[in-house]
A and B are shown apart, each in its own frame.
Chain A
Amino acid sequence: MPTYTAPLKDMQFVIRELAGLDEIAALPGCAEVSADLVDAVLGEAAKFAQEVLDPLNCSGDKQGARLAGGKVIAPDGFALAYKQFVAAGWNGLSGQTAFGGQGLPHSVALPVQEMWSSANMAFCLCPMLTAGVLEAVGHHGSAAQQKTFLPKLTSGEWTGTMNLTEPQAGSDLSAVRASAVPEGDHYRIRGTKIFITWGEHEMARNIVHLVLARTPDAPEGVKGISLFIVPKFLVNADGSLGERNEVKCVSIEHKLGIHASPTCVLAYGDDKGAIGYLVGAENRGLEYMFTMMNHARLGVGMEGVALAERACQFALDYAKTRVQGREIGQRSGDRVTIIHHPDVRRMLMSMRAQTEAMRALAYVAAAALDKSKLHPDEKQRRRQQALVDLLTPIVKGWCTEQAVEIASTGIQVHGGMGFIEETGAAQILRDARITTIYEGTTGIQANDLIGRKVAFEQGATAKAVIAQMRGVVGDLDQQPTLATMRTALVAGVTALETATDWLVATFPAKPAMATAAAVPYLKLFGTVAGGWQMARAALVAQKQLAAGQGDAGFYRAKIASALFYAGHILPQASALGHTVINGSASTLALDVADF
């Protein structure tokens, strides 16, 4: 089986040239984020991902997490790897410096997360969930809660979980039933939570659960949900660990993928009730969850990028070593590796071009997230906030949907061997399959996109992005070698603009028609935004080549990827645009009763 090698060159290229590292470094509090620091961080993270996490990916998938006597046992090697992860300080990458973190921006943290996820997504989920708790408590917890929980969550000595889902409350959290009854300075929590990633394990000394529950007099629906900290072990006043709280793992799920990550059913309070501490004010739990949603969703989008990258590497390795058939048109002579066959090349190029486009869009969104939080100018902050709000569902929805397709193409490159687990290609598809579902399904992302992000503001931010895309079209005017990119981008942007106008006009009057077109619109936006970034990348590459600077081989390959994207991926935009505008009637034509 091939091993994962972090694509450092492309990552550095995107961070510097497309996401704009200079602008990030100019933000208050980011003075340290220089190119050489980023290189050093990425380089060492790559080493850790390649040497510690990647070797456990396949074995972890095969062995899976197990539940024995109420304890969840992670696959062999995971506990040691986690210990090394914590010892190397990676858990604190983006944590607040006040609690021992390094305070590095998302523009650095998300690329690092890409490497963890490529190397071993099941492992990476554990620190990702901890990061979610850090952010929620960091924003909304009391000073005392922060002092008690954040230092150890930042270091990774303790891990965190998110407890939202219940059997009857999945995408619709208004149906949450877990209860929280006040008792002195705390609450007693009762209820069952499902799908809790790394909800129980022995890799860390304590687990801090964030739990959504209802207080006795809470109003119905989403406005009556509060957020609680429920530690696995109660924490004494001196910070030492006390009694075991009333939360236990009653089962773990048997899943299609991410086998090494235990997905737990957690039972809270089967006697007196688990002790929980209210975060912020009552009934505002969901609102608090939303503050970290962009980050969490970008993180899952990044998993899509990460698995697509892994799929590319595995497929390429196989295509370069598997000998089968002769060069097309040759009847005699040596047999060749399958990368010589045009259709295999097509598959490899399609995987590569899309993965590069996805990475570029995700990093650009991460940079917008940083600017939305840190930019000194309030107007800029608001503009960047609107941009990251718009891009987040696209990165989450589009990158993960494409990742599934890319992982599937990766199997196709392997032929029959791809269907056999030992090549590792199948695991990538199985692992990728969850990414379009958790943290909001593609449908939820698309609804968020067309409703809150596009229609409610009459497409203002979408139009601003489209204007930026047209600016890139202008830059392409002077580049005859990129003419096919220009043509494809113009067609794509036009399709996107027309579809956006249709959505803005249709949504208020016919919300069902608009919503039926939501996912095609999300895919349209992703496809065109990916083309926009590939065009930018090609322009930079062209400029560097003309100046005779840098790695000519890399830039030529970048232009080849961009032109493939223009020839094969971007043209899909017109078809998607057609579907958005004309497809909804047929979607809704068949009555529910007639299905």
Chain B
Amino acid sequence: MKVLVTAKRVIDPYVKVRVKSDGSGVETANIKMTMNPFCEIAVEQAVRMKEAGVVSEIVVVSIGAQQCQETLRTAMAMGADRGILVETADEVQPLAVAKALKAIVDKEQPKLVIMGKQAIDDDCNQSGQMLAALLGWPQAAFISNIAVNGDGAEVTREIDGGLEKLSIRLPAVVTTDLRLNEPRYVTLPNIMKAKKKPLEIIKPDALGVDMSPRLTTLKVQEPAKRGAGVKVADVKELVSKLKNEARVI
């Protein structure tokens, strides 16, 4: 079966993020970028399913600037077969992503879409769910296990307070949680091979999708600096401070 995975290009998680001086967003120019870690898990899962003989073809999709080609090459070096870049200079927001992906899914007809549960830049955690809704497909978000059997799949979801096991019909959209797998190191021969794999670049217009942002960012600012701690004399004072100053209990 064919699988579609998504790979978002984000600021490297080890880079210290800086807010732009005009408060319009965070600084991304000349900053190390990488594949969103949850997307890496999604790609890894697809590759493992291919290695296990469950999957026959992996198509990886990225949406964003021209440089997202690097992210797609990384996914292809991990084992994806071909890449599609929906190239746009606009800020990509979840609904636009879901619409663009729906157009690609309609064209590619995959039996399963695997996405990261969220991107570590905006932490939206919406695109997968929206895509499933637009397609009218079953969805299982935050999965830590998946086993495909025929026209369905057994998945384990990570939910508040435990694990939830579900049977879903395919085609479906699933999103990955951290414990699903540990992504592999890309091998050198596969980096070389990835260069030769097909990479298609599409504009949103060609998909008939309006990707212009619907949400307006008013202001981005750094979190307040943490003040110095204080020593409390006893438990009573601690409880009182938590209640009256911190107002958390």
Q: Which residues of A contact B (CB under 8 A)?
A: 5, 8, 32, 34, 36-37, 39-41, 44, 47-48, 51-52, 84, 87-90, 92-93, 102, 550-551, 553-554
Contact = CB atoms under 8 A, between A and B. Distances in A.
A47 B185 contact: yes
Given A37-B195, A40-B70, A40-B74, A93 B188 contact: yes
Contacts of A40: 70, 73-74, 77, 191, 194
A87 B74 contact: no
A283 to B, nearest CB: 38
Interface in B73-87: 73-74, 77
A5 B15 CA distance: 11
Nearest to B74: A40
B30 interface: yes
B189 interface: yes
A36 B191 contact: no
13 contacts: A8-B32, A34-B195, A36-B69, A36-B195, A37-B192, A39-B70, A44-B77, A44-B188, A84-B185, A88-B186, A89-B188, A90-B188, A93-B188
B187 interface: yes
Contact of A41 (B29, B185, B191): B191
Contact of A89 (B32, B70, B189): B189
Given A40-B73, A551-B29, 12 more contacts: A32-B192, A32-B195, A36-B70, A36-B195, A44-B186, A44-B191, A47-B186, A48-B185, A89-B188, A89-B190, A102-B192, A550-B30
Nearest to A46: B32
Nearest 5 interchain pairs by C-beta: A551-B30, A89-B188, A89-B187, A88-B187, A89-B189
Residue in B77, B185, B190 with the greatest tally of chain A CB atoms within 10 Å: B185
A92 B188 contact: yes
Interface of B: 14, 29-30, 32, 69-70, 73-74, 77, 185-192, 194-195
A51 B30 CA distance: 23
B186 A36 contact: no
Contacts, number: 54
A92 B189 CA distance: 9
A102 B188 contact: yes
Contacts of B190: 89
B33 to A, nearest CB: 10
A51 B195 CA distance: 24
Contacts of B74: 40
Nearest to A86: B187
Residue in B30, B188, B195 with the greatest tally of chain A CB atoms within 10 Å: B188
Contacts of B30: 550-551, 553-554
B192 A87 contact: no
Contacts of B189: 89, 92, 102
B83 to A, nearest CB: 13
A153 to B, nearest CB: 16
A544 B14 CA distance: 27
Contact of B188 (A36, A39, A88): A88
Contacts of A52: 185
A8 B226 CA distance: 32
B84 to A, nearest CB: 18
A39 B70 CA distance: 9
B15 to A, nearest CB: 10
Contacts of B191: 37, 40-41, 44
Contacts of A8: 32
A81 B201 CA distance: 38
Contacts of A90: 188
Nearest to A90: B188
B192 to A, nearest CB: 6
A378 to B, nearest CB: 30
